[in-house]
Chains A and B, each alone.
Chain A
Amino acid sequence: MSVEAVRRLVAVEKEWRGRIEEARRKAERIVEDAKAEAQRILEEAENPESVERFIEEERVRVDSRIGEVRRKFEEEAERIRKIGLARIELAVDFLVKRVLGVEV
């Protein structure tokens, strides 16, 4: 093999070694970037804001349910007042008779 040929081979080999080194550096960057992305993903998951929307929605649901319970009791109290007032005369008569000593 001539000197010229050997030189060419060395040059080619050098060039490709360089490219392989560059590929290795690129590979390292890819892995480093992936690690950074992974870190960002984990930090985002740890961020309390990730569940705040859920909590807010749940609070709205709970408030609505509590409001419904209160409203039902209000309605029941009003119904009791109405029924009672409609029949209060009977109770008054009963009480008056007992005060007067009349056996009921």
Chain B
Amino acid sequence: MSLDAVVSQIEVLAKEEINSILEEAKAKAAEIIGEARRKAEEIRKRKLEEARARIRREEAVKLAEARMEGRRKLMEAKFSLLKACTEEAERKLRRLAEAKEADYREALFRLTLEAVSNMSSSDLKVYCNRRDRQLLSEIVRKVEGEASRLKKTRVKVKLEEEPLDCMGGVVVQSADGREVYNNSFEARLKRFEEELRAELLEIMLGGE
């Protein structure tokens, strides 16, 4: 083999080795970066999942708060209707009582009879406002008669002088003062406004 051929052979072998060294390094570098990218993707995915879970939790809390507040607003809307209804009913009752029409006379009789009938005592005092005194004096005997018939015992009802501060209706008290039945408009309005809430809303909202 000639010298040139040997030199050429050395060059070829050396170049091959250099190529091999560099290719191996490039392959290792690509593997390192590839592995880093894969891990980075995993990290990003994990972080996104964590963020997503945190956002979901926050969303659930905020949604629950918004729904609670919303339900409170619906309740407020219904209560404002009930309040408006009660206020209007009070105005109407006042007008009706002040007008002293036949309807009111009948109502006063019914309310007095109901109060008297619900007392266990048979010796009773009845109170009303100054305006209704004349009207009540005209019906108190009829109440006595009707109550005696219903209770099958002699019922005595005395109309008291002391005026009651109320829109209308009566307050009945036993003569010994131990028993009281408040059948004034105010008491009845308060009682029925509470008792009839569901029905009043049903009328106004029609099952909404």
State the A residues within 8 Å of B (CB): 1, 5, 8-9, 12-13, 16-17, 19-20, 23-24, 26-28, 30-31, 33-35, 37-39, 41-42, 44-46, 48, 50-51, 54-55, 58-59, 62, 65-66, 69-70, 72-74, 76-78, 80-81, 83-85, 87-92, 94-96, 98-102
Contacts and interface: CB of A to CB of B under 8 A. Distances in A.
A13 B18 CA distance: 14
Contact of A26 (B25, B205, B206): B25
Nearest to B49: A51
B128 to A, nearest CB: 15
Contacts of B150: none
The dominant DSSP class at the B interface is helix
B146 interface: no
A65 B85 CA distance: 35
A88 B81 contact: yes
25 contacts: A26-B22, A27-B22, A31-B29, A34-B28, A37-B32, A37-B36, A45-B39, A54-B51, A66-B62, A70-B66, A70-B69, A76-B74, A77-B73, A80-B77, A84-B77, A85-B84, A88-B204, A90-B203, A94-B196, A95-B85, A95-B193, A95-B196, A99-B185, A100-B107, A102-B107
B155 to A, nearest CB: 18
The dominant DSSP class at the A interface is helix
A1 B5 CA distance: 14
Contacts of A98: 188, 192, 196
A85 B29 contact: no
Contacts of B78: 80, 84
Contacts of B17: 20, 23
B6 to A, nearest CB: 6
A95 B63 contact: no
Interface in B2-24: 3, 6-7, 10-11, 14, 17-18, 21-22, 24
Pairs A-B, 3 closest by C-beta atoms: A73-B70, A27-B25, A34-B29
Contact of B63 (A1, A5, A31, A65): A65
Q: Which of B29, B30, B52, B93 has the most CB of A within 10 A?
A: B29
Given A41-B37, A59-B55, A20 B48 contact: no
A58 B55 contact: yes
Nearest to A28: B25
B147 interface: no
